[in-house]
Amino acid sequence: MNVHILTLFPEMIMDGLHTSILARAMDKGLITLEAVNIRDYTLSKHKKVDDYTYGGGAGMLMQAQPVYDAYMSVKERMSGPARVIYMSPQGKTFDQELAMELSQEEELVILCGHYEGIDERVLEEIVTDEISIGDYVLTGGELPAMVVVDAVSRLIPGVLGNRVSSDTDSFMDGLLEYPQYSRPEVWRDKKVPDVLLSGNHAEVDKWRRKQSLLRTRERRPDLYEAYIKEHPEAEKFLQ
Ligand code: 4H4
């Protein structure tokens, strides 16, 4: 997957995403990442990229021309058509299902807004998907873009190096993940559940399924109801 991020703060993206797993994925050639500085494409002699909004109102807006020209510079270098994602509170809420969908793409362009957002005309011209990471307003789209890249990248085969750990992630099967433990067996008088030390994989799987159902029912009743509707037989694990 080739990820192209259009941003006013490329260093924030490159520093933020050069984590161990993503850096290794890039070294393996599984992912390429570039951050394109929108400011490099402004035609204004003062490197201006924002202006007041027509109709008045507080705040500034990112202008269309620099964003469009930055996108066109990336488009020329892409191997094929790409989803162009605009990070905004007005978008579709990002979730594991959307992460899975995006992980199938070969090319991904992510546009990061600032100030009050971006001129609607360039959004209409280039954006295919508007995505939100939650119902709150941030100062920039860079953190949301890094959230999307992180969640999508780890689903690309070979990135985690151990597919099992993403397959049993929370939300992957519609349930929250079960509690997990590592050494030592006893920590501050708290013991690892005996079943996990038994070596009986069938019993471990049964215990984990029950814990996932209990945790989901307690913490995310919305997910639990949806899951039980799809899998009514699962309630037997709670007996
Ligand atoms: C974009 C602020 C659009 C306001 C922005 C608007 C998020 C989020 C975010 C910087 C930019 C903000 N991006 N999920 N939440 N005018 N981005 O807050 O549409 O309200 O992804 S606007």
The Cα 92–Cα 224 span in angstroms is 22
Confidence label for 171 from pLDDT (cuts 50, 70 and 90): confident
pLDDT of 76-90, one tens digit each? Answer: 999 889 999 999 999
216 within domain boundaries:
yes
19-78: pLDDT as tens digits: 878 888 999 999 999 999 999 999 999 999 999 999 999 999 999 999 999 999 999 999
Tell me, what's the pLDDT at 172?
A: 66
Together in a domain, 122 and 26:
yes
Q: What is the pLDDT of residues 179-219, one digit of tens each?
A: 999 999 999 999 999 999 999 999 999 999 999 999 999 99
107 is catalytic: no
38: nearest Cα among 8, 61, 64: 8
**Predicted local distance difference test score (pLDDT) of residue 239:** 83
Host domain of residue 172 = 168-238
- Catalytic, 169? Answer yes
Is 29 in the same domain as 96?
yes
* Torsion sign (Cα): 86, 115, 13, 16: negative
pLDDT at 166: 63
Does ligand 1 lie within 6 Å of residue 137's CB atom? Answer: yes
Domain boundary among 123, 153, 183: 153
Q: Which of the residues 24, 39, 83, 154 is marked catalytic?
A: 154
